Structure 1
């Protein structure tokens, strides 16, 4: 009999005084007293439920405030000790050399070309001798992952060793990045990643000739590229575009980007939606803009441009929004003396390319799924891009003729 049955019997038992009926409040109080009593007993003889909650492990620890210097130091020190312990768990150079020696010693002939091979039985033997740090690598899952078409059921020793090296390197990098996680929350803020890359520059041979005055530009460019592609969200000639040398770009200065054929309507949208300062764009915002335009096949880039094209903020492009942007292309064509192109024809081509689920609306996902997002966005925002698309067949034919001329003796 559990506490629920006992509770029901006690509540159903007759009153000691049959002439007196208990009030509704008395019945509720008695019910609560009995519930508390039997629930506590059911949980192991505790006198009240508060004792039960005390046994729940603590799972939330607040971050120290700025003025709690001692707590902050303690947190930093404990994180450093934790990361040092994790680093010691990784294979060092001597242990990696020992692993290679054991693998080579247990290879099973014949070799495939110059590749030494090992079967599963010897694979497990090496795992037993290699030490506890290597245990995670010597599993059936890892062996099966590297097993391909060998008729003897063996894997390449070199491929396995490279797998181990890559895992060790990734964990080393993870620990190295964690040292820059100032808040200790498991992620890097933009400033954290900037510090990491800035301290990494002197170790990169490719950047030996980079002047220190350009370090900040390199760091900013690298960080913005990381954040652009890792958060669904090179630099062009930023300094050349900045004609007044104030470190910012106006709409007029940005209009000279690339072939200088982006429409003013699209540039207006850029300055409406993107972060600006007194109507001018800073270097970080410029980098996002450039990354989006130079990587238009990528979902992150299409998301950036789609937000600019979605002038009504409806989550889709309709005939109105397409016409809104293409009218600016038509106006530029007139200015440059080109024959106008019917919007109706362009609109039909866009919908044919994208094939959206809704025949009247193009969503961001439709654009991504079509693999035509780069073409569609180019048609709508850049006269040079539209002209290239419109004359693609003639350009291909011309390239073929030029190739033939080169080949002729």
Structure 2
């Protein structure tokens, strides 16, 4: 066995212990063997990193150009844009067709008159004595008063509709308001009803408001679907985002002039992060229009006459302040000013407490330049994962990195590689812990369906996937976890998102 390479030893070790019924490494000899395999793996990776650094240096020396003095924004590395297969004339025709499609769909947007008809119909159904209707189907009492509106949106029993009243509401409102045709279906009643088989007027109005928001978003997006396939590519979505930012009062002209190339990237990356899990490089238009991400986007890109509330600016990913934040952070990490980040530079991210093995995995699983450098686009993906650790897309992102050999599950070896560094690092802070005990804790948290194999589904269904990830990639998080475990009154909470 001593004549075998570390990779062969690892494969031999995994095969010998694959069917083991024990969660932990049970003997001193086996622990020593795993330790040796892990150290050999890390040493091999460090040699590979050194080789890549030399290659990057040579590549940069051949392609470097002097930057102009006085530029406020460094020139980040730009990918070559793919040429369009369509001629300019064909593209113009398709853009015209897409715009006409949006005009046709606009007929389904529920306008103010339809909403008023609905509110009046709700009032009539609940109070036949208040105005009533004439034979032509027009309301006799005009607009409802403020008191009437308070009556409608009140959630007490008086605003509840029975199924028969709901059907009557549908029969009254559909002839007068074509956009509401086919909206108040039995399926919607079943979705909105509460105890007693009743549905409140307030829930109907809220449902209509959300539906109308989706329809309006669809109208806004349709002109950019020039291929007419119901999907938007990155380039198409970036055009939409930049156009909307230009129209909005929430974005200054100075910002748009200086950060025109960055804002669409930051904005569309979140959309693709959550809506394109299979990396098809396109998102379905209808799914985007109905998504929570679109709701957040619309708050940052409202109609020109409105502004986003200051309290929402810091938490809204699509506001211009977030692009400035990411740009400043990226620029600070880019210590040599070449517009790209190396693994050594990304190690200084935030508190500088991330595991070098994790950072190496980020680069190995990402599109890189000059062998091992990432650009601003890839950095935004990284930040999205780090700031949304409990979300399913983020857990899938981390799992691809932690699954060293791309087997589709994590083994004791994978855990050993990542946890060894974090355990050694926290020991430098005076916190003592045993690596093997921590690995057992990870298995206990994950509760894998198959012994010694943690799948991404195990990570997600555990409810504490983000906690497990943080323990493996961030030594500060491991210290926090260790202290929390020593508090008997505390229970590790399940994570939301």
TM over 0.5: yes
Change (3 A) 1:79 1:209: closer
Match of 2:255 among 211, 225, 243: 211
Q: SS of 1:136's equivalent?
A: coil
Change (3 A) 1:346 1:97: same
Change (3 A) 1:380 1:202: same
Match of 1:221 among 253, 266, 271: 266
Matches within 5 A, 1:9-88: 66-67=86-87, 72-88=91-107
Match of 2:240 among 184, 191, 196: 196
Report Cα offsets for 1:355-391 as digits up to 9, x if no partner.
1112221111111111221121212121111111112
Report Cα offsets for 1:52-87 as digits up to 9, x if no partner.
xxxxxxxxxxxx9624x6655544433333331221
Change (3 A) 1:261 1:89: closer
Distance 2:174 2:396 in 1: 51
Match of 2:394 in 1: 301
Shift, 1:109, TM fit: 8.1
Distance 1:130 1:318 in 2: 64
Distance 2:235 2:194 in 1: 44
Match of 1:160 in 2: 204
Stretch moving more, 352-361 or 134-143: 134-143
CA contact (8 A) 1:249 1:282 kept: yes
Matches within 5 A, 1:147-296: 147-149=193-195, 155-207=199-251, 211-212=255-256, 213-232=258-277, 236=326, 237-278=329-370, 279-296=372-389
Larger RCO: 1 or 2 (CA < 8 Å, sep 6+): 2
CA contact (8 A) 2:153 2:201 kept: no
Distance 2:459 2:467 in 1: 10
TM-score, scaled relative to structure 1: 0.72
For structure 1, the residue ranges without an aligned partner over 5 or more in a row are 1-63, 399-409
Shift, 1:317, TM fit: 1.0
Distance 1:133 1:352 in 2: 54
How many aligned residue pairs are there? 331
Match of 1:139 in 2: 185
Stretch moving more, 95-104 or 312-321: 95-104
Q: SS of 1:184's equivalent?
A: coil
Shift, 1:340, TM fit: 4.8
Q: SS of 1:130's equivalent?
A: coil
Match of 1:57 in 2: none
Shift, 1:347, TM fit: 1.1
CA contact (8 A) 2:426 2:479 kept: no
The CA RMSD measured in Å over matched residues stands at 3.0
Stretch moving more, 291-300 or 203-212: 203-212
CA contact (8 A) 1:103 1:126 kept: no
CA contact (8 A) 1:332 1:383 kept: yes
For structure 2, the residue ranges without an aligned partner over 5 or more in a row are 1-83, 130-150, 279-321, 491-497
Change (3 A) 1:337 1:172: closer
Match of 1:323 in 2: 416
Match of 1:94 in 2: 113
Distance 1:333 1:91 in 2: 59
Which protein has the larger Cα radius of gyration, Structure 1 or Structure 2? 1
Q: SS of 1:253's equivalent?
A: helix
Change (3 A) 1:160 1:260: same
Matches within 5 A, 1:359-374: 359-374=451-466
CA contact (8 A) 2:237 2:268 kept: yes
Change (3 A) 1:89 1:393: closer
CA contact (8 A) 2:399 2:456 kept: yes
Stretch moving more, 269-278 or 76-85: 76-85
Distance 1:117 1:197 in 2: 41
Distance 1:124 1:186 in 2: 30
Q: SS of 2:405's equivalent?
A: coil
